Amino acid sequence: MDTNILVYAHDTSAGDKHAIALRIVKDLWASGLGVLSTQVLQEFFAIATKKIPKPLDISEAKEIVRVLLKWPVVVNNGNSILDAIDIHSRYKYSFWDSMIIESAGRGGASLLLSEDLNDGQTMDGVVIRNPFLNP
């Protein structure tokens, strides 16, 4: 999943998006199918503690990250950066979105949940879905 889904799951001011994202995270916990990247975890911490209407306390956000580390975490490296550049060049997504797409593929995900990418698009076996279009 991309960072926004994770942020919405912990941002009680996000309305319907909070409810949908929270259900997604709970379902992923129950199924054991969640995969995250180091980038998503880093962005989550930065956004959740500073950029949402009711920022999380640093210790609370750290504990959420600690719990999320129980999921498989895809660690970015030099080759992942080069592969993300290829995705960026081919599909014209931002470099940072391309890093998330690359990490999803490398992490074995067949589905990437994102509100920022093209719903229904498939790249290297990873299907993009916007869970807020048809909740």
User: Using CA atoms in the order 44, 47, 48, 49, what is the torsion angle rounded to 10 degrees?
Assistant: 120
- 45-84 pLDDT, tens digit each: 999 999 999 999 999 999 999 999 999 999 999 999 999 9
Q: Over 110-125, what HEC string results?
A: CEEECCCCCCCCEECC
**pTM (2 d.p.):** 0.93
- 19-44 pLDDT, tens digit each: 999 999 999 999 999 999 999 999 99
Q: Note the residue count of the chain.
A: 135
| Model confidence at 135: pLDDT above 70 | no
